[in-house]
Amino acid sequence: MIKRKPKKTIIPKLDQPLVPPREFSEHIASLLVSCIRGLNKSLPPDDELLKKLKEMEAVVRKGVRVGVATDLGKDIEEFFDRQVIKQKFIEEEKDIVKTMVLEVVDTIKSVVSTSSGFDTNITECVENIENAVNIQDIVKLKDSFVGEMQKVRQYSRTLQDELEEHRKNSTILAKKLEQSEAQALVDPLTNVLNRGAYNLKMGQMIHEFKRYKEEWALLILDIDHFKKFNDDYGHHIGDKVLKSVAGTVRNAIRISDQIFRYGGEEFVVLLSRVDAKIASQLAEKICREIERDYFVDGNKKLKVTISIGGAIVGKDDTELSLFERADKAMYRAKNNGRNQVVMDL
């Protein structure tokens, strides 16, 4: 019988570091880069920490090959995106309060300035009455004095009415702000602002248009044949199409514009400080970017198109009337063959 030598157990020396597999290192490096990118978005450009994080990312990339972000990496970056969008929107809403306060100040200044004129007129009436020679002059001056006092009373009522209107608006706004801070403003699926945020922003923009008269536009975007994606490929593919469209639109619009998921397969884009020509050009750009893009499902490339209806805000518009004009334009785009823009100008 042949005796076999027992196998030697190889014990690594303690002074030799254990080297993790390359795949593991690349995975960890990718997640670390996603975290760094997310943090960078939340920091101001002149922050010292931002510079250090960029240096850290450079070191990581130099030491380890960093591939495409994994699903977890994308989730990390989207988490930071939601926090940045949410904070930015809340800050914008708080600016409305400042605008309303300034309007109250303007109203008071205007009335006080006018009232001081009344004060001068009333003082002159009193002096003229004291210096009047005959009864006829006194009667005429009395009528003039009564007229000035009626004007003062009328302006006092106007001031009271305007201040009461501002008080009501401020109360409504304060409640909306409380709700906006208490509820989520970002749609969890598409990572863009939701309908609640849209309602707040529309109120602000209508209010500012009446004050500053700066034109802006509302676009309604509807994904063509969206039901077919759900029916043919399943709802999970439909969700991915929604995310893909939202991301493409977000990259196509300007930094001053905002996209909202209004509901289902429908999105709204608000274009600030544009006239009819620029609004049409931006809408066409969004439509063409979606058409050029495609969605990958396994080995299949799924084409997606959208129909867009738009409208420029007018002096008689309300939140509802402006939306209805854009909505009708969007349905005209659908009826005309889809994958196009129709503007209500």
Active-site annotation, residues: 265
**What is the CA 262 to chain-centroid distance, rounded?**
12
Residues 238, 302: contact at Cβ < 8 Å? no
Q: Which residues, including other chains, have CB under 8 Å from residue 317's CB and lie 6 or more apart?
A: 206, 209, 325
Long-range contacts made by residues 103-112, C-beta under 8 angstroms, separation at least 24? 103/166, 103/211, 104/163, 104/166, 107/159, 107/162, 107/163, 107/166, 108/159, 108/163, 111/155, 111/158, 111/159
Q: How far is CA 171 from CA 8, 115, 204, in A?
A: 81, 28, 14
H-helix or E-strand spanning residue 266: strand 266-271
Contact 280, 341 (CB under 8 A): yes
Which residue pairs from 298-302 have beta carbons closer than 8 angstroms and sit at least 24 positions apart in sequence? Answer: 302/229, 302/233, 302/237, 302/241
Report DSSP state, residue 31: H
Beta pairing partners, 294: 303
| Of 275, 236, 249, 239, nearest in space to 193 by CA | 249
Per the structure block, which two tokens stand in for 325? 């004009």
DSSP 276-330: HHHHHHHHHHHHHHHHH-EEEETTEEEE--EEEEEEE--TT--HHHHHHHHHHHH
